DNA sequence: AAACACTATGCAACAAATTGCATAATTTCA
DNA sequence: TGAAATTATGCAATTTGTTGCATAGTGTTT
């Protein structure tokens, strides 16, 4: 259950509201641990119950009030304990590969469209990563935290480049099969 | 919900029992869609209810009876319809990356052990894939179905090689940070 | 002879994730 | 001026995934 920890990691950086967290997930840590706002709000409730975060309501004029959440010392301790426990291997679930396992039972034309779509997705990802790298990391002096994030980001960049190459390849191979 | 479809894909190849499926998942399609035997048995029940598979009890001497499952024409049709619907992008959940996001809040020594462990995991995967390729695909004449699987397998091989390189790299970079 | 691994199936409880909905105000675009 | 997007929060229902357990016979190892 690393959603709780992913949230704690974000809040270690600065206190945030559920809404902030949801956006931060969409643009940053969520590249490696996807989560919806509903899940985040629910998890925040659990973290508050456990005493790992404390919540403060902030009055706002006009907009609805926001509730910001701060990591408590107990939360920090829990995060440190979690960091010592072995990381689970990532769970892999990819429909696309399942379809590769059944080329003789599927609609190949439709599948090739899906491959193209998947390549677009990886290209979008890659350019997001590159933009983030350029904006926040290139030519800057980085502290330990930032260096860690940069390592993750560079792995992401590398990974996406490979994904793009792989799918290009797969499209060519798959196209060849149809005509045989 | 591609577990149902992953099961149908397997059963398209040949009728299998839940136990067979669980083993097949562990050694083959599960590389891209992991699932436990409990989940498989539950899903088989649902597929039977929907009429996508039919089940036959087979008497065995000594061993407990096995129940083999066969895809029905409705099941095949459902699989074909599913293949036309867009594939979801893979859901990414990787604790390791979350830890990279918090290098200043974690136990770095423990984390480096985890990285080493992760590299072993990818090396094991790679050698599994290579063994499968050698045994079932190299130097063989392949039909469409097998060619699809080979494409998936080769993507897996490529991916694991990259993973190994990436983590090697990350270990070096992370080690460097500690001493600064 | 006892312990363990393998074949074979599945329930029950729980945790996590997804989907759909709901509210309510403000800003921005057409 | 009306519609749509954004900010902000969250409940409820359902599905999916995990963990622990239970049963029961056979074969293999110590």
Count of residues making up chain A:
180
Residue of B nearest to A85 (CA): B110
Residues in A touching B155 (Cβ below 8 Å): 97, 166, 170
Is the dihedral angle over the CA atoms B40, B46, B52, B55 positive or is it negative?
positive
CB contact at 8 A, B152 and A111: no
Flag whether pLDDT at A64 surpasses 70: no
CB contact at 8 A, A55 and A67: yes
Please report whether residue A90 resides in a domain: no
Same domain, A61 and A105: no
Neighbouring residues of B89: CB distance < 8 A, sequence distance ≥ 6: A118, A121
Same domain, B100 and B144: yes
Please report whether residue B139 resides in a domain: yes
Residue range of the domain that includes B124: 95-178
DSSP state of B33: B
CB contact under 8 A, B12 and A76: no
CB contact under 8 A, B107 and A84: yes
Which pLDDT score is estimated for A179? 57
Chain A contact present for B51, CB below 8 A: no
* Cα B25 → chain centroid: 6
CB contact at 8 A, A110 and B83: yes
Please state the three-class secondary structure of chain A as a single string.
Answer: CCHHHHHHHHHHHCCEEHHHHHHHHHHCHHHCECCCHHHHHHHHHHHHHHCCEEEEEECCCCCCCEEEEEECHHHHHHHHHHHHCCCCCCCCECHHHHHHCCHHHCCHHHHHHHHHHHHHHHHHHHHHHHHHHHHHCCCCCCCHHHHHHHHHHHHHHHHHHHHHHHHHHHHHHHHHHHCC
Helical axes B2-13 vs B18-27, angle rounded to 10°: 100
CB contact at 8 A, A98 and A48: no
Which of A:157-176 have CB within 8 Å of B? 158-159, 162, 166, 170, 173-174
Count of residues making up chain B:
180
Q: What is d(CA A129, CA A127) in angstroms, rounded to the nearest whole number? A: 5
Same domain, A53 and A26: yes
Please report whether residue A16 resides in a domain: yes
Same domain, A72 and A9: yes
Same domain, A10 and A80: yes
Label residue A91 by pLDDT band (50, 70, 90).
Answer: confident
* A32 contact to strand D (CB, 7 A limit): no
Flag whether pLDDT at B119 surpasses 70: yes
Last residue of a domain, one of B41, B58, B84: B84
Please report whether residue B23 resides in a domain: yes
Q: What is d(CA A25, CA A19) in angstroms, rounded to the nearest whole number? A: 10
What is the percentage of chain B residues whose pLDDT exceeds 90? 89
Which pLDDT score is estimated for B82? 97
How many domains does chain B fold into? Answer: 2
Same domain, B24 and B76: yes
Residues in B touching A162 (Cβ below 8 Å): 158-159, 162
Residues in A touching B91 (Cβ below 8 Å): 34, 91, 93
Chain B contact present for A111, CB below 8 A: yes
Closest-CA distance, A61 to chain B, in angstroms, reads 34
Minimum mean pLDDT among A9-23, A49-63, B114-128: which range? A49-63
Same domain, A78 and A103: no
Last residue of a domain, one of B31, B65, B84: B84
CB contact at 8 A, B25 and B35: yes
Flag whether pLDDT at B96 surpasses 80: yes
């Amino acid at each position: 259950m690393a959603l709780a920890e992913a949230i704690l990691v974000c809040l270690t950086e600065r206190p945030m509201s559920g809404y902030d967290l949801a956006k931060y997930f969409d643009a940053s840590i969520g590249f490696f641990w996807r989560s919806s706002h509903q899940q985040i709000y629910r998890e925040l409730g659990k973290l508050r119950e456990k005493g790992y975060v404390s919540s403060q309501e902030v009055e706002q004029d006009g907009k609805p009030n926001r509730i910001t959440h701060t990591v408590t010392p107990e939360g920090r301790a829990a995060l440190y304990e979690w960091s010592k426990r072995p990381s689970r291997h990532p769970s892999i679930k990819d429909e696309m590969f399942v379809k590769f396992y059944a080329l003789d039972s599927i609609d190949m034309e439709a599948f090739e469209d899906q491959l193209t779509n998947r390549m677009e997705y990886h290209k979008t990802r890659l350019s997001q990563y590159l933009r983030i790298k350029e904006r926040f990391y290139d030519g800057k002096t980085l502290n330990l935290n930032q260096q860690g994030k940069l390592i993750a980001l560079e792995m992401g960049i590398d990974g996406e480049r490979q994904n793009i190459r792989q799918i290009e390849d797969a499209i060519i191979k798959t196209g060849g099969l149809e005509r045989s």
